[in-house]
Amino acid sequence: METNPRQTIIAAASHFYQLGWMMGTAGNLSVRIPDGSFWITASGRNKGELTSTDFVRMKLDGTIIEQPHPDVRPSAETSIHQTIYSLFPEAEACYHVHSIEANLVSRFTDSDNLPLPPLEMLKGLGVWEENPQVTMPIFVNHLDLPRIAQDICDRFEITPPSVSALLIRDHGITVWASSPREASNFLEIAEYIFRYMVAARTVGF
């Protein structure tokens, strides 16, 4: 893992922006570095125009280690990233985007788990089973973002997810992985599955 991954995040954010997953200032990306701290996108920054000054380095306890200016604040959803890194020590990247399909499928069930179709693409999320029965956790989109983080912590401490991804209803998808490249792969696989689910409903599957 490179010691300063901001350029990696900038490239990923630009890619997701071009895909329509991080329009305007939506979404947030972070990468953990060897000392246990993590770089996260600053609040209110256009994700298609990030520079190296659009990041804050944080400790897991929420302490700010580095910021380009006192007015540059970490993402409002930093508490969710802190929770993911605390729950999953192997996680080195945590990416959250706002795609149309993620928001649509989050309404396909009233349950707190979204059943995923048994597609071959699930192997890209680490599911190597025949006819897998896989679900993705869904959480309520509270205005109080630390409350979402607490809900994630409370639930995952009891029932770990079967895939390294979660949905916040009407809000988007968050994935985590052992590297930024893998996190990007997870997002692309999940979004492919969501597009399939939306298309399947359209044609009446």
Q: What is the pLDDT of residue 205?
A: 67
Give DSSP secondary structure letters for 66-77: E-SSTT--B-TT
Residue 71 within a domain: yes
Residue 152 within a domain: yes
Residue 158 within a domain: yes
The CATH number of the domain holding residue 66 is 3.40.225.10
User: Considering its fold, how many domains does the chain have in total?
Assistant: 1
Q: What is the pLDDT of residue 129?
A: 86
Q: What is the pLDDT of residue 1?
A: 43
Q: What is the pLDDT of residue 131?
A: 85
Nearest in space to 105 (alpha carbons), one of 190, 186, 18: 190
Q: Give tens-digit pLDDT for 131-188.
A: 889 999 999 999 999 999 999 999 999 999 999 999 999 999 999 999 999 999 999 9
Residue 1 within a domain: no
Residue 177 within a domain: yes
Q: Which domain holds residue 149?
A: 6-203
Determine whether the annotation assigns residue 96 to a binding site: yes
Residue 90 within a domain: yes
Residue 60 within a domain: yes
**Amino acid letter, residue 172:** G
Terminal-to-terminal C-alpha distance of the chain: 43
The pTM (predicted TM-score) of the whole model is 0.94
Sites in the chain below the pLDDT cut of 70: 1-3, 205
Q: What is the pLDDT of residue 72?
A: 87
Q: What is the pLDDT of residue 27?
A: 95
Residue 176 within a domain: yes
Q: To 10 degrees, the CA torsion angle through 117, 122, 132, 166?
A: -70
